[in-house]
Amino acid sequence: MDQDSKKQAVADAALAYLRPKLESDTIVGIGTGSTANRFIDGLAGLKGSIGGTVASSEASAERLRAHGIPVYDLNSVDRVAFYVDGADEANAQLQLIKGGGGALTREKIVAAAADEFLCIADDSKLVRTLGEFPLPVEVIPMARGYVARELVRLGGDPVYREGVVTDNGNIILDVYRFPLAQPLAMEETLNNLTGLVCSGLFARRPADRLFLAGDDGVRELEAG
């Protein structure tokens, strides 16, 4: 299976998992990226069976609306039953690195608000230890130099993602060679860095279920 077919296969698997659980008032949180896009396209066939969606980026909101799928502001919904999104890396505990597409902050917010987080990815994303993929962090523009120096102090090698402004008006630093053997502790350390809005490390809120596509088909991994 090529990578595109794998993305399609996990999107289909997530839809098949959700279909019997959806009710007319169910709100589904929607991630960002090429795998999430496959899910959005498939969700179009179920748009009459759900209450609507909350999107983690302007790009996903636009794609959802183009399909005629209702998109709500997170503040206007009481409950997000599911959040479905891709990842850049996942470990066996279903802790993730996300943000390759720059949408990490809103993704983390919608994931935090959701009852159940379904991650969809191809098997190249499953790693023993997180950190081969450079960790994206969203930073307030005026804090760029300060935060970069702090990240170096923590053992990383931050690189400014040129020309990228997030949906929140901030910049992204991609941190190479970051020591992520203790993801929870590092996420907490990053959360305490002034000027750093959000890291792409999803350790405190890992996925609940990972649909992983390989050459032999899709398998499901559960947290814990």
Q: Which residues belong to the active site?
A: 107
Judged by CB under 6 A, the chain residues 160 through 199 that form the site for ligand R5P are none
Indicate the burial class of 68 (C-beta count within 10 angstroms; 0-12, 13-18, 19 or more).
exposed
**Of the residues 29, 100, 131, 206, which one makes contact with ligand R5P according to CB under 6 A:** 100
Please report whether residue 89 would count as binding ligand R5P according to CB under 6 A: no
* Residue 188 CB, nearest approach to ligand R5P (Å): 20
DSSP per-residue codes, 29-98: EE--SHHHHHHHHHHGGGGGGSSEEEESSHHHHHHHHHTT--B--GGG-S-EEEEEE--SEE-TT--EE-
* 33 is known to lie in a ligand binding site: yes
Q: Alpha carbon of 184 to those of 174, 176, 187: distances in Å? A: 19, 18, 5
Question: Which range, of 65-73, 92-100, 147-155, 212-220, touches ligand R5P by CB under 6 A?
Answer: 92-100
Q: Alpha carbon of 52 to those of 107, 192, 214: distances in Å? A: 17, 34, 31
Whether residue 33 contacts residue 101, with contact meaning beta carbons closer than 8 Å, is answered with yes
Question: Which range, of 11-19, 81-89, 142-150, 168-176, touches ligand R5P by CB under 6 A?
Answer: 81-89
Judged by CB under 6 A, the chain residues 105 through 134 that form the site for ligand R5P are 107
* 68 is known to lie in a ligand binding site: no
**Of the residues 5, 16, 34, 49, which one makes contact with ligand R5P according to CB under 6 A:** 34
Using CB under 6 A as the criterion, which residues of the chain lie in contact with ligand R5P when the complex forms? 31-36, 85-88, 98-104, 107
* Known binding-site residue numbers for substrate: 32-35, 85-88, 98-101, 125
